[in-house]
């Protein structure tokens, strides 16, 4: 584990530079330890694939002290039990208005749209972390067979719930935002709830599976305003 200052008010904790389930477990455990033990000293935590950015108020907190505390916590990291991973099944209406880029994704990879749906919905994905926008999951485990580049020009507005592919990652846009990934479907489920606890449907470490639904089912289950 390596720690360096990222700014005068944050530290970058690094567990290497790879995307792997073992780096992920360390990030998950250290995030848990930081939340438990350093809550009063830390303003924000940004866990990612193999790193955690830890920010604090430099007027009231000494960065060197935070750094020492993290090194100290690292000694306990192997003793943090890994919580039972939760599995979330998300309904997705693929194609048509819900997935305007589905045909193009299929064409780019020499597949039929049905192939893309089948491949996308038969994998077990891992939520590496949440970032980018509230509740947005960075999902690992997507088949390379449906990997496609990001759009040359991002869309200015992507509907909330859009399920998309960007390079070899897949994700879901929880809120309407600009987006550069290719949209293959849409989930009627909400992923972000600022009005209640828990704030997000998904959390770091969850497993996610997608299952196809019809547009009628989408209308029936639609949780988006």
Partner 1 sequence: MSHIHVISPGFVTTVQDLGRYGYAHLGVSASGAADRLSLRMGNALLGNPESAAALEMTLAGGAFEFDSETSVVFTGSDFNAQFEGNSVPPYVPFRVRAGQAVQCGATRSGARCYLCVRGGIEVPLVLGSASTHLMTGLGGLEGRALKKGDLLKIGNVTTKAFQTRLFDRDVLSRLMPQKVLRITPGPQGNWFRDGGKSLFQGTYRVTEESNRMGLRLHGPPLEQTYSGQMLTEGVSLGAVQAPKSGQPILLFVEHQTTGGYPKIANVISADLHSVGQLRPRDEVRFELVSMEHALSLLREQERLLGSS
CA distance 96 to 142: 22
| 190 contact partners, CB below 8 Å, separation of at least 6 | 160, 161, 174, 201, 223, 224
User: Is there binding between residue 55 and partner 1 (CB under 8 A)?
Assistant: yes
User: Is there binding between residue 10 and partner 1 (CB under 8 A)?
Assistant: yes
User: Is there binding between residue 194 and partner 1 (CB under 8 A)?
Assistant: yes
Q: Cα(first)–Cα(last) distance of the chain, in Å?
A: 44
Q: Which of 58, 83, 85, 149 binds partner 1 (CB under 8 A)?
A: 58
CB of 91 to partner 1, least distance (A): 22
Q: What is the DSSP string of 28-39?
A: HHHHHHHHHHST
Q: For partner 1, which is the closer residue by CB, 52 or 142?
A: 52
CB of 12 to partner 1, least distance (A): 5
Contacts with partner 1: how many residues (CB under 8 A)? Answer: 46
Question: What does the block give as tokens for 79?
Answer: 């003793």
Which residues from 124-183 bind partner 1, rule CB under 8 A? 129-136, 138, 174-178
Part of the chain binding partner 1 (CB under 8 A), chosen from 13-21, 98-106, 113-121, 139-147: 13-21
CA distance 120 to 163: 10
Q: Give the single-character DSSP code of 72.
A: H
104-133 footprint of partner 1 as x/- string (CB under 8 A): -------------------------xxxxx
Residues 3/14, Cβ–Cβ less than 8 Å: yes
User: Is there binding between residue 44 and partner 1 (CB under 8 A)?
Assistant: yes
Question: What does the block give as tokens for 56?
Answer: 């604090």
CA distance 123 to 207: 10
Q: Name the residues that contact partner 1, by CB under 8 A.
A: 4-10, 12, 17-19, 31, 43-53, 55, 58-59, 63, 129-136, 138, 174-178, 192, 194, 199-200, 204
């Amino acid at each position: 584990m390596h720690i360096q200052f990222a700014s005068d008010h944050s530290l970058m904790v690094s567990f290497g530079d790879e995307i792997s389930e073992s780096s992920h477990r360390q990030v998950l455990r250290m995030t848990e330890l930081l939340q438990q033990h350093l809550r009063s000293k830390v303003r924000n935590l940004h866990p990612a694939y193999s790193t955690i950015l830890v920010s604090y108020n430099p007027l009231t907190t000494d960065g060197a002290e935070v750094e020492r505390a993290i090194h100290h916590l690292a000694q306990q990291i192997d003793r943090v039990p890994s919580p039972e991973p939760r599995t979330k099944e998300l309904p997705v209406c693929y194609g048509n208005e819900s997935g305007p880029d589905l045909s193009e994704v299929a064409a780019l990879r020499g597949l039929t749209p049905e192939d893309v749906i089948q491949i996308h919905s038969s994998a077990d994905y891992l939520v590496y972390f949440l970032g980018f926008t509230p509740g947005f999951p960075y999902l690992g485990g997507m088949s390379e067979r449906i990997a496609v580049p990001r759009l040359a020009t991002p869309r200015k507005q992507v509907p909330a719930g859009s399920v998309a592919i960007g390079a070899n990652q897949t994700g879901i846009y929880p809120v309407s935002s600009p987006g550069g990934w290719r949209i293959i479907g849409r989930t009627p489920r909400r992923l972000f709830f600022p009005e209640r606890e828990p704030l997000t449907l998904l959390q770091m470490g969850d497993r996610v599976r997608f299952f196809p639904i019809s547009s009628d089912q989408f209308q029936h289950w639609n949780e988006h305003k």
